[in-house]
Chain A
Amino acid sequence: MAASALLGLSLLVIGESHMSANDYLINPLHDELTKQGALVHSVGACGASAGDWLKTIQVPCGGDRKGSQKAVFKGRDATTTPIQQLIAADKPDVVVIILGDTMASYGKPFPQTWAWQSVTNLTKAVTATNTACIWVGPAWGSSGGKYLKSDDRVKYMSTFLKNNVAPCTYVDSLSFSKPGEWKTLDGEHLAPSGYKAWSHGITESIVNSPFVAARKK
């Protein structure tokens, strides 16, 4: 991966709890994208599903990091910010959406219709602004953790997203590792080494995405 592959690109990266704590994606991913030359704004909201990024709702925790600044983390006073508002403020070239675990309904029947509506509403909102988007699906966790994440369901969720995020480009995080390869803290959230590896896979996928490839021509 050539350094500066993302030079001049402005990226808005939103995500769930994986983007909302110091050792999670918000720092290693932000840093790696920045190293590639991108101007990055990372925003995390714990537990937020796709539909929650169309409105302002209170979430249990969140994180925000702009450019070279340090990440700011919030607790119960954290909220989502509607995607249209974030895009209007940042005017990004690409929106990167890192969502999957919050919609997978681990341990429960999969809410097919709700997930479809939620995902579709968010992709429509992004594409209505003529902004390119990349959707990063969930990574493998450890089966049987406190959130009941399971290999079967995360695989199902990933396939569901792959089929439903168009016109966003889908990044299959499951291809970055084998099940159980990345250690988790609680079955769902990864140990720092896992987040670092995930960040690398995401960055590589963005560098090789159709939007970035087309820009090089």
Chain B
Amino acid sequence: MHFKPRLIKLAMLSTLFVSVTCIAEEMALYPTGPSQDSSFVRFVNGTEQAITLTSSGAKKMVLPLNQAATSFYPIAAKSMLKGSFSSGKAKSDIALSVKPGEFASVIALTSPAGLKQVILREQPDDFNALKASVALYNADANCMNAALNVVGRAVNLFDKVPAGNLQRRALNPVKISVQLLCNAQKVSVPLDLGLLQAGQRYSVFVLPAKQTSRIFFTSDNIAQ
């Protein structure tokens, strides 16, 4: 794990994209919370090769396959965030704003024209330091009714998640492996999620691949 260089890159990226990272807090005599909730955005390489993420200020960051998702960066709600994904001559422009309390994932995907993107958004209300939280993000249009089963147990973690949608649920902090199913058919090999940590949030992405769908797993870290 090349963790420190990664953190440095992430810190740089956070300054690239987010012109205003601080929440506009009221300075009343006794403030009881911010004027609006925090919002975050992350970028995900859902292609099968490294891509470059470029900010509107022309600064760049490579998203390799082994570190395909960035952390969530704080962003001021309702502000417009711009940039692009690129790979060779293929390019997909990024332009989005987020609502207060929203976590947006901008996912780059391969398209016949080169690159495209899908944006999946969630407004979690399940924060719990005693439980792990796992989401299934289905970003593969070819995977209808995505499901995740727990390997070795007759437990269905997620069921019938349409393409372009996500589901999230709280779990006890246990060690599990999962099997992806598309339209009730097993797809790809089981994925070991390891020992889930209480209070930690995770995402499993269903992504298109040359032959079939694939999945990858990441922790939903917040860039500090």
Interface residues of A (CB under 8 A from B): 17, 46-47, 49, 60, 101-117, 120-121, 123, 147-149, 160, 163-167, 188
Of all chain A residues, which has the CB nearest B25? A49
B199 CB within 8 Å of chain A: yes
Q: Is the interface of B mostly helix, strand, loop or mixed?
A: loop
Q: Is the interface of A mostly helix, strand, loop or mixed?
A: loop
Structural contact, B129 and A114, CB atoms closer than 8 A? no
Structural contact, A103 and B199, CB atoms closer than 8 A? no
Q: How far is the CA of A182 from the CA of B62 in the complex (A)?
A: 58
Of all chain B residues, which has the CB nearest A105? B33
Structural contact, A113 and B38, CB atoms closer than 8 A? yes
Of all chain B residues, which has the CB nearest A160? B127
CB B209 to nearest CB in A, in angstroms, measures 32
CB A43 to nearest CB in B, in angstroms, measures 17
Point out the residues of chain B lying under 8 angstroms from A148, CB to CB: 32
B36 CB within 8 Å of chain A: yes
Structural contact, B30 and A60, CB atoms closer than 8 A? yes
Known contacts A112-B127, A163-B130, A166-B199, A17 near B30 by CB under 8 Å: yes
Structural contact, A115 and B33, CB atoms closer than 8 A? yes
Q: How far is the CA of A112 from the CA of B127 in the complex (A)?
A: 8
Point out the residues of chain B lying under 8 angstroms from A120, CB to CB: 129, 199
Structural contact, A111 and B38, CB atoms closer than 8 A? yes
Q: How far is the CA of A116 from the CA of B37 in the complex (A)?
A: 10
Q: A60-B29, A103-B32, A123-B129 are in contact. List 17 more A-B contacts (CB 8 A).
A: A47-B29, A49-B33, A102-B32, A104-B33, A105-B32, A106-B33, A112-B127, A113-B103, A114-B37, A114-B38, A117-B222, A120-B199, A147-B30, A163-B130, A164-B128, A166-B130, A166-B199
Which chain B residues numbered 20 to 39 have a C-beta less than 8 Å away from chain A? 23, 28-39
Known contacts A112-B124, A112-B127, A120-B129, A102 near B34 by CB under 8 Å: no
CB A108 to nearest CB in B, in angstroms, measures 6
Of all chain B residues, which has the CB nearest A103? B33
Question: Number of contact residues on B: which range applies?
Answer: 20 to 34
Of all chain B residues, which has the CB nearest A58? B27
Point out the residues of chain B lying under 8 angstroms from A47, CB to CB: 28-31
Structural contact, B29 and A46, CB atoms closer than 8 A? yes
Instruction: Name the residue in B33, B35, B101 with the highest tally of chain A Cβ atoms < 10 Å from its Cβ.
Output: B33
B198 CB within 8 Å of chain A: yes
Structural contact, A164 and B129, CB atoms closer than 8 A? yes
CB B69 to nearest CB in A, in angstroms, measures 18
Q: How far is the CA of A10 from the CA of B124 in the complex (A)?
A: 38
Point out the residues of chain B lying under 8 angstroms from A166, CB to CB: 129-130, 198-199
Q: How far is the CA of A69 from the CA of B101 in the complex (A)?
A: 44
Point out the residues of chain B lying under 8 angstroms from A147, CB to CB: 30, 32
Point out the residues of chain B lying under 8 angstroms from A101, CB to CB: 32
Point out the residues of chain B lying under 8 angstroms from A104, CB to CB: 32-33
Q: How far is the CA of A123 from the CA of B37 in the complex (A)?
A: 20
Of all chain A residues, which has the CB nearest B170? A163
Q: How far is the CA of A111 from the CA of B101 in the complex (A)?
A: 7
Of all chain B residues, which has the CB nearest A188? B30
Please name the 7 residue pairs, one residue from A and one from B, whose CB atoms are nearest each other, closest first. A105-B33, A166-B129, A111-B37, A116-B127, A114-B38, A113-B38, A163-B128
